[in-house]
């Protein structure tokens, strides 16, 4: 089938299209309605159906006679280890960990926060929750205790699964003290914690609350999969919004299973037995969908990598992993490629590895600059497919389609809309713009299966954030355009979200931290262009009247404060003390002008600027700070 035929088939009969896709999943009970518009905020998929996604991801393959096939390969240059798990082994360990969680009182519908480094037990814990019908909420390890605390408080987990430490180049990150601090800060306290003791650091366990992961697993009775409603939540994944309060993106089980399973063939061109490597982290949506659920639903072998694209040990690490494990498709963020290209521009390390089994490279997480895409295509001599999606959607909105033989190489574009998405460009009043014009990228409701039906405990917030601006549409928050061929370019966010090394961060959250410094009167954080990380945050602060401190000292404190409150992942390294911030006459800070100024462009202040001299003042400070010494 061609892409055009598939998209047209979906347009002609969306419910029929998804009902057919749903045949790829084993249901405990089939749906009453493929889509019920009366449920939830904009309707829900597979109403009345019941399934267990863990049974689909593991047991089903074992029962089909493929229990000895590899399900997961853990490759950790950080720990100096490679471990392989067959589907049978992964099923058995998951069933035991599910039993251990059940023994701690975790019931269907209970939340379990997972704060883990990239170890197999992170995947096992996620699948174990799914097996029990419990709702997991994975928190990325690069977040600090205060961010973890916000998520614990909102998700109100019965239990938390964590580890003694994570391994970053040059340092061991002790997770347990951060977990203890987060629990201390949170008004909600979990009943129990399951702690994986890694050999690099052993954590002190709190008697009565903390349990050793390995001992609990060994003592547990394997738990059978518990079917849940297709419309029940499988997980809550917190992502950055425009304020310091993260958004709890809810994923329902049935639609997600169907969409992910369909995407594996349609987009990635992969099926049972193929090796897929998504070089992301289980703390991000990309990790949830394409390290854990999708490859296992499709019967693939998934690679879990604890390492970096460079420095572990060198810029050939990705090619070594691809060669060693026979990876057929790699999915990573453009930042990783930029890092490799920077260190090995001629790809001499690539030439040392046998990539004969490697077929395609997929990119997402941030806009890919065309030179990086061209470099990768030239060096790899394989299709390079950029595809665009968000935590909210759970799977790609636009893509190239290996399953349909459509992956034209047009650097700067992110492919065409996937069947399921009626994507259009709207002007600021909600009118559909013709191809070639840029505006707000929006999806006509209903969103397809797999996309978030709501926010955790905040249906009104979901409506306000995504549906209210353009009635009948989901506002993606991204600006872009669709060209005459139907290919979509995503230019960047229309809100206060920035993308740093493929990590989604809120400038609003960073502003809240800066504003909490006792000497700061007001502040702005903007994302400025960064050659490696795509964007980097820059903070500008005005000190309170009468504060006569050395600006450099305050700037250092601000950098440390963001690291302490949000975490190292914010990569907040630059703050400038400025005399005033440029504002409109009504008092709105001109963040776009500040960003352009920092990028070395004409700041193009709007005519409503209150005092143009403020921009010159900021420019002078940036110049001062940029000067050596």
Q: Which does 279 bind (CB under 5 to 8 A by kind): ligand COA, ligand AMP, none?
A: ligand COA
For ligand COA, the binding residues in 349-388 under the rule CB under 6 A are: 364-365
Judged by CB under 6 A, which of 364, 443, 525, 566 binds ligand AMP? Answer: 364
Q: Out of 493, 517, 533, 576, name the contact with ligand AMP by CB under 6 A.
A: 493
Q: Which is nearer to ligand AMP, 192 or 476 (CB)?
A: 476
Structure tokens at 208: 């009565």
Phi, then psi, of 258 in degrees rounded to 5: -65, -50
Name which of residues 460 to 479 contact ligand AMP (CB under 6 A).
477-478
Specify the DSSP element, H or E, that contains 237.
strand 233-239
Instruction: Cis check for the bond before 524: say yes or no (omega within 30 of 0).
Output: no
How far apart (Å, rounded) are the C-alpha atoms in residues 362 and 385?
A: 5
What angle (nearest 5°) sits at the alpha carbon of residue 150, between those of residues 553 and 133? 150
Report in angstroms how near the CB of residue 562 gets to ligand COA at its nearest: 11
Residue 387 binds: one of ligand COA, ligand AMP, none (C-beta under 5 to 8 A by kind): ligand AMP
Give CB contacts under 8 A, 24+ apart, made by 28-36.
28/52, 28/227, 29/227, 31/230, 31/254, 35/446
Alpha helices in 227-345 (DSSP H): 253-266, 285-287, 294-297, 317-325, 334-343
Residues 496-525 contacting ligand AMP, CB under 6 A: 499, 504
Site membership for ligand AMP, residue 481 (CB under 6 A): no
122 binds ligand COA (CB under 6 A): no
**Hey, what are 189's tokens?**
């306290």
> For residue 39, what are its two tokens?
């449920």
Residue 454 binds ligand AMP, judged by CB under 6 A: no
Q: How many residues bind ligand COA (CB under 6 A)?
A: 26
Q: Does 490 bind ligand AMP (CB under 6 A)?
A: yes
Distance of CA 414 to the CA centre of its chain: 17
Q: Contacting ligand AMP (CB under 6 A), which of 390, 424, 506, 507?
A: 390
Residue window 263-282: x/- pattern of binding to ligand COA, with contact defined by CB under 6 A: ----------------xxx-
Q: Does 339 bind ligand COA (CB under 6 A)?
A: yes
> Which is nearer to ligand AMP, 321 or 373 (by Cβ)?
373
Choice between 147 and 281, CB closer to ligand COA: 281
- Exposed e or buried b for every residue in 107-137, given b needs 16+ CB within 10 A? eeebbbbbbbbbbbbbbbbbbbbbbbbbbbb
Site for ligand AMP contains 67 (CB under 6 A): no
Q: Cα–Cα distances in Å, from 137 out to 7, 146, 595, 603?
A: 33, 16, 34, 41
Contact 92, 222 (CB under 8 A): yes
Taking contact as CB under 6 A, which single stretch among the options 106-114, 329-337, 425-433, 486-494 is the one that binds ligand COA? 329-337
For residues 172-201, which are near ligand COA according to CB under 6 A? 173
Please confirm whether the linkage preceding 313 is cis (ω < 30° from 0): yes
Residue ranges binding ligand COA (CB under 6 A) = 141-142, 166, 168, 173, 279-281, 284, 286, 308-310, 332-333, 335-336, 339, 364-365, 501-503, 568-569, 571
């Amino acid at each position: 089938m061609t892409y055009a035929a598939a998209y047209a088939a979906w347009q002609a009969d969306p419910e029929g299209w998804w009902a057919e896709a749903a045949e790829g999943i084993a249901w405990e009970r089939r749906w009453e309605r493929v889509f019920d518009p009366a449920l939830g905020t904009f309707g829900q998929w597979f109403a009345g159906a019941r399934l267990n996604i863990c049974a689909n991801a593991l047991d089903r393959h074992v029962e089909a006679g493929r229990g000895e096939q590899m399900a997961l390969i853990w490759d950790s240059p950080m720990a100096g280890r490679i471990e392989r798990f067959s589907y049978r082994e992964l099923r058995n360990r998951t069933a035991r960990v599910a039993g251990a969680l059940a023994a701690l009182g975790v019931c269907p519908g209970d939340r379990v926060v997972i704060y883990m480094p990239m170890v197999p037990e992170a995947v096992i814990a996620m699948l174990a929750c799914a097996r029990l019908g419990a709702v997991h909420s994975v928190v990325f390890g690069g977040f600090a205790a205060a961010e973890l605390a916000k998520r614990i408080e909102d998700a109100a987990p019965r239990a938390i699964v964590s580890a003694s430490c994570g391994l970053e180049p040059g340092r061991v990150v002790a997770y347990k003290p951060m977990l203890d601090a987060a629990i201390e800060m949170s008004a909600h306290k979990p009943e129990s914690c399951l702690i994986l003791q890694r050999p690099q650091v052993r954590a002190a366990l709190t008697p009565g609350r903390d349990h050793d992961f390995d001992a609990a697993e060994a003592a547990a009775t394997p738990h059978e999969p518990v079917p849940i409603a297709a419309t029940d939540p499988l997980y809550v994944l917190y992502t950055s919004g425009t304020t310091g309060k993260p958004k709890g993106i809810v994923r329902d089980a049935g639609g997600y299973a169907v969409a992910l399973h369909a995407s594996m063939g349609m987009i990635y061109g992969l099926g049972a037995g193929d090796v897929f490597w998504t070089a992301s982290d289980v703390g991000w949506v990309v990790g949830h969908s394409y390290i854990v659920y999708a490859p296992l639903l499709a019967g693939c072998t998934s690679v879990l990598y604890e390492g970096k694209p460079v420095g572990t040990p060198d810029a050939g690490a990705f090619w070594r992993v691809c060669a060693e494990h026979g990876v057929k498709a790699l999915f990573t963020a453009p930042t990783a490629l930029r890092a490799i290209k920077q260190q090995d521009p001629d790809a001499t390390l690539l030439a040392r590895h046998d990539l004969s089994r490697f077929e395609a490279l997929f990119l997402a997480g941030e806009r890919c600059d065309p030179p990086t895409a061209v470099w990768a295509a030239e060096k790899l001599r394989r299709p390079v497919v950029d595809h665009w999606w968000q935590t909210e959607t759970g799977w790609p909105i636009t893509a190239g389609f290996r399953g349909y033989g459509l992956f034209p190489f047009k650097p700067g574009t992110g492919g065409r809309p996937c069947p399921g998405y009626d994507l259009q460009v709207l002007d600021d009043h909600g009118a559909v713009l013709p191809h070639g014009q840029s505006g707000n990228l929006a999806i006509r409701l209903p969103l397809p299966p797999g996309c978030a039906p709501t926010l955790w405990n905040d249906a009104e917030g979901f409506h306000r954030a995504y549906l209210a601006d353009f009635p009948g549409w989901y506002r993606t928050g991204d600006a872009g355009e669709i060209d005459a061929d139907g290919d979509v370019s995503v230019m960047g966010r229309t809100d206060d979200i920035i993308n740093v090394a493929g990590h989604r961060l809120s400038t609003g959250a960073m502003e809240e931290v800066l504003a909490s410094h006792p000497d700061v009167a007001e502040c702005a954080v903007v994302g400025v262009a960064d050659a490696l990380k795509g964007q980097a945050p820059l903070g500008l602060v005005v000190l309170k009247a009468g504060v006569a401190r050395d600006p450099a000292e305050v700037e250092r404190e601000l950098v440390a404060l963001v690291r302490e409150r949000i975490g190292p992942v914010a990569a907040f390294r630059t703050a400038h003390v400025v005399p005033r911030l440029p504002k409109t006459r009504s008092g709105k800070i001109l963040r776009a002008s500040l960003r352009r100024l920092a990028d070395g462009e004409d700041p193009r202040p709007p005519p409503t600027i209150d005092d143009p001299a403020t921009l010159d003042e900021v420019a002078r400070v940036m110049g001062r700070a940029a000067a050596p010494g």
